[in-house]
Amino acid sequence: MGIPTYVPGYPPDGSSLGQTKSTLRNNLDGTFQTLNVDHVNNNGQPGSRPPGYHTIIHEVTQTNVSTVTGYNQIFSGVPGTLIINGVTTPNIPSNGDTQLYSLTGMGGITQLTGSAVGSNGYTWAGAILMQWGNFNPNISTSVSFPVEFPHAVFNIQLTGSASNSSTFRNGVSTGSLSKSGFTWQGSIDSHWTPIYWLAIGN
């Protein structure tokens, strides 16, 4: 049996208890049952815990959210379709799954979740997007990030892996770093492979 539908305005003026008892009971029971979803109820169930505490939070997916001055909002949305303050969120990840966001009382937007793990992958860590990968280098090698950074690349680190001691010069080609990738430029011999990279941005 589902949660009873709440009927406002009960008891109406001039009505007797007998006339309104069923509706009042449904209103009270339905309110209790609604609060019981995702919360410890006022009998301390499940278990013996403080009434009103959350057990789990089921978030309804949002499509359009605006700043509420002075208040932080945490909500669920689908990247690429969720609109925050009139701007569509970056489509990262692009698999259509829900992700968590935070919107501050001054309009600061943070994507809290979203990742693709593997030897070449990425993850959102608060407001920071971290990406990583590796490649087998030539003298000049173009590398594409798994996803394009929505705003900017802050830093990129490169580390070579060598089977023995050998000459190695390692860097990003001047002017090649963009939101979508970079060009590796270096001087190597056959011992240096692969080269690992880590990029940080937002």
Say if 57 falls within a structural domain. no
Domain that holds residue 6: 1-46
Say if 27 falls within a structural domain. yes
Domains contained in the chain, number? 3
Say if 54 falls within a structural domain. no
86 Cβ contact list (under 8 Å, min separation 6): 66
Instruction: Residue 190: give its domain's CATH number.
Output: 2.60.40.3940
Write down the pTM of the prediction: 0.74
Say if 55 falls within a structural domain. no
What is the biggest distance separating any 2 CA atoms in the chain, rounded to whole angstroms?
A: 95
User: Each residue of 34-77: pLDDT tens digit?
Assistant: 888 999 988 888 888 888 899 999 999 999 999 999 999 999 99
Say if 180 falls within a structural domain. yes
Pair (108, 120) in one structural domain: no
User: Each residue of 83-108: pLDDT tens digit?
Assistant: 999 999 989 888 899 999 999 999 99
